[in-house]
Structure 1
Amino acid sequence: MGSYYADFHIHSRFARATSKNLTLPLLDEFARKKGIKLLGTGDFTHPLWLAEIEHYLTPAPEKGLFILKDAAGDNPTRFILSVEISSIYRQGDRGRRIHTIIMLPTLEAATAFNDMLSTHGAKLSSDGRPITGLSAKRLAELAFSAHPQALVIPAHAWTPWFSVFGSMSGFDSLEECFEELTPKILAIETGLSSDPPMNWRLSQLDNVALISSSDAHSAAKIGREAVKFDGDLSYSAIADALRGAAPSRAGQRSASPTKLLGTIEFFPQEGKYHFDGHSAHNVRLSPAETKQNKGLCPNCGRRVTVGVLSRVEELADRPANFKPAGAPDYWSLVPLEEIIAEALGVQTGTKKVSAQYESLIQTFGDELTILLDTPIKSIEAASTPAIAEAVRRVRAGQLHIEPGYDGEYGTVHVFSDEERLAPSSSEQVTLF
């Protein structure tokens, strides 16, 4: 089939704090615009969303995947059954709050898994991302009981409050969390606040693949992080590719018809928990500054929220910039609408940005193609010199970044303050 992009972790309108216009046809439409070939359904545990999945989707030609029943065109978006589950429990004399992505290949397995969760007290109708008192390990056991090919992936593995390595309620290793089931955990999701180089600093993660997903709460956010595969497209092919993407198994990849080539990433500083800090007092701290302040807010004396970078530093057994042999690639990007908005000197969501975005999609096909592959000269011819220059700078990593902290997104700007504030600056940018 060639190469394609997958985004496994999204949400439906039945999850909290999500867009209320999310439907499967809309997800299919936006996946095509974004360049996502394989999209998670999200939230299959919610009874109303599962009913919509059964109504709108039908098995795809590729085993274990689904397509819209009335899909337009020759190459429709494939869907994979996925859900994120929140486990809140105690282990090792500590409260644990872990989010886990579960993927399954059949509706029968999804129904069986849902029944088991309900039996254990989960209120599946309350939220598309249900809460359970089951441990992450027990949750994995239920998933593998529902189907032996279940994929169990720790979600946004470094987020302070709800993740397997989180500073507030996580573990120091996958083994501590999943015990004897650890070999069945084929991947972790790195999350918006970390990227592969940060994760490469932990030798324990050489045994898992690193994936990235959008965790989209609206259709427009699909594909802001994703995974690039090459080869066959099927549920079992994805599982084989994840198994082979671990650096410790790099020598086995030639036997798999499908390979994980790399991940599409946020710049991790843009994530909400990259740095440490206390948002109530607008205090943003680097790991070194947190140590200097003994982990306390310099304004009020309360403990700061320890972010992803500090937590990686704490658990790392390798230096920064270490890359394991055989590790897949990654590409850090800024969403196209944000690039256009900054180049035009307006806000995202405006008619001007939308018109330019749709024009570029019509010309070049999809967003990831534009951001990664389209020649800069072609982008300039189809838009403006400022937009073309902005894409060039994103590809080169020539950005102005303020890291996120304690739930506050970081800021990523393509142009300097002087360029952005200058009159008609968007038309004064030179390409080379």
Structure 2
Amino acid sequence: MKKYFMDFHVHIGRSNSGAPVKITASRDLTFANIARECKHRKGIDIVGIVDCASPEVIDDISQLINSGEMKPLKEGGLIYQDKVTVILGSEIETKEANGGLSHQIAYFPYFEDIKEFSKALSLLVTNVSLSSQNCKISAQEVFQIINQIGGILIPAHAFTPHKSVYGNCVRRLTEIFTRATLKKIPAIELGLSADTEIADHLKELSGYTFLTNSDAHSLPKIGREYNIVELEKANFKEILLALQRKEERKIIANYGLDPKLGRYHRTFCEICNYTATSNPPVYKCEKCGSDKIVKGVFDRIVEIGDYPQSISPSYRPPYYHQVPLEFVPGIGKKTLNKLFGYFGTEMNILHKASSKRKKKYQEKKIYS
């Protein structure tokens, strides 16, 4: 078995032609640039790109395959320059009978699959070229389409207040998915404002693998949260086995920001911007009394959790709170470029470089 660094949720800002895909994402966040960033600066071995159903992006992928820069893998996925495995995905917005909105991510093994899904999606959304469009049907109905094509569905950033299954949709997954469907969902994405300790307050999640992903809207944000996964080879089939914890494939570590640093950790007031400090859950602003609040992830989990304390299953890997290099005070673009020039990639710096080599770099920095 080999260990791979995996970020399974990265957005595309623009196509190669300059057409918008994720409007709030950076213009230089193209399909090809994501693969290059993962290889040359981040050291991410497996990346899930979640806007691949856009016809403009499909054209970009086709050009990369035709040029030989990307090659299809027999067991699913694409390989970039024999180094980075790219899994093709599509984030969509679903709507439940209660009006609740949530984001789901569909992942597919093959290029032909994402093209087929794009055609199906075009019949449901207003503009299939744009990211995370409301498809006006339920998550269960979307699952049926994805499953029929041969893909998998993973609920995205499951706890964030806006557009997530637990944040503003339902209290339990059984309210929106059939039990048969729940058995086919291989993992839950935690999101930037949650970690294992928070998620394991819910009994129904004890059987699900947790994913920590960046949800990157710019190149520097790739890998701000990531997973270490143990596989025989980096391809779709092996990744699915790892998410299902089968044949000794598995996620062996989650890395992410401390949820306390997240924007949505505690309830905050939309009128005076005050963040709650009293015992959760908080339903009104403690400062101005307004009920126009955004309920925090921690407040929500206290509200709907089964356990007063987190209870993790024995298979659950460790979750490490980690600050990305770009967040470290004093490390700007110039310093980052020097670090990458010396150590290679961010994952090398964080995981592979020896203390001796780091000390040598520090001495070189001091005396140069």
Q: How does 1:113-124 map to 2 (within 5 A)?
A: 113-124=117-128
Cα separation, partners in 2 of 1:30 and 1:104, compared to 1, 3 Å: same
Distance 2:294 2:327 in 1: 28
Cα separation, partners in 2 of 1:141 and 1:374, compared to 1, 3 Å: same
Task: Name the residue aligned to 1:274.
Answer: 265
Q: How does 1:134-283 map to 2 (within 5 A)?
A: 134-147=137-150, 150-166=151-167, 169-180=168-179, 181-232=181-232, 233-244=234-245, 253=246, 256-283=247-274
> Is residue 368 from structure 1 mapped to residue 347 from structure 2 by the alignment?
yes
Cα separation, partners in 2 of 1:197 and 1:369, compared to 1, 3 Å: farther
Does the CA-based 8 Å contact 2:159-2:194 persist in structure 1?
yes
Q: Tell me how far 1:116 sits from its aligned partner.
A: 1.5
Structure 1 unaligned regions, length at least 5: 245-252, 388-426, 428-432
Does the CA-based 8 Å contact 1:230-1:259 persist in structure 2?
yes
Task: Name the residue aligned to 1:23.
Answer: 30
Q: How does 1:253-402 map to 2 (within 5 A)?
A: 253=246, 256-286=247-277, 288=279, 291=282, 294-296=283-285, 298-339=287-328, 342=329, 344=330, 353-376=332-355, 378-383=357-362
Letter of the structure 2 residue corresponding to residue 381 of structure 1: K
Q: Deviations over 1:44-98 (max 9, x none)?
A: 1211111111111443445211124xx3xxx4211110111111x342xx21111
Select which of 62, 69, 77 maps to 1:65. Answer: 77
Compute the TM-score of the two structures, normalised by the length of structure 1: 0.76
Q: Considering only CA atoms, is the larger Rg found in Structure 1 or Structure 2?
A: 1
Normalized per residue, the structure richer in helix is 1
Distance 1:137 1:11 in 2: 23
- Secondary structure at the counterpart of residue 20 of structure 1: coil
> Is residue 50 from structure 1 mapped to residue 50 from structure 2 by the alignment?
no
Distance 2:3 2:236 in 1: 15
Pairwise CA RMSD of aligned residues?
A: 2.2
Letter of the structure 2 residue corresponding to residue 171 of structure 1: V
Distance 1:289 1:121 in 2: 37
Q: How does 1:396-411 map to 2 (within 5 A)?
A: none
Select which of 32, 47, 55 maps to 1:39. Answer: 47
Distance 2:73 2:103 in 1: 31
Does the CA-based 8 Å contact 2:125-2:134 persist in structure 1?
no
Does the CA-based 8 Å contact 2:104-2:153 persist in structure 1?
yes
Distance 1:376 1:279 in 2: 46
Cα separation, partners in 2 of 1:114 and 1:81, compared to 1, 3 Å: same
Q: Tell me how far 1:363 sits from its aligned partner.
A: 2.3
Cα separation, partners in 2 of 1:195 and 1:124, compared to 1, 3 Å: same
Compute the TM-score of the two structures, normalised by the length of structure 2: 0.89
Letter of the structure 1 residue corresponding to residue 259 of structure 2: P
Letter of the structure 1 residue corresponding to residue 337 of structure 2: E
Q: Deviations over 1:372-396 (max 9, x none)?
A: 44344532431379x9xxxxxxxxx
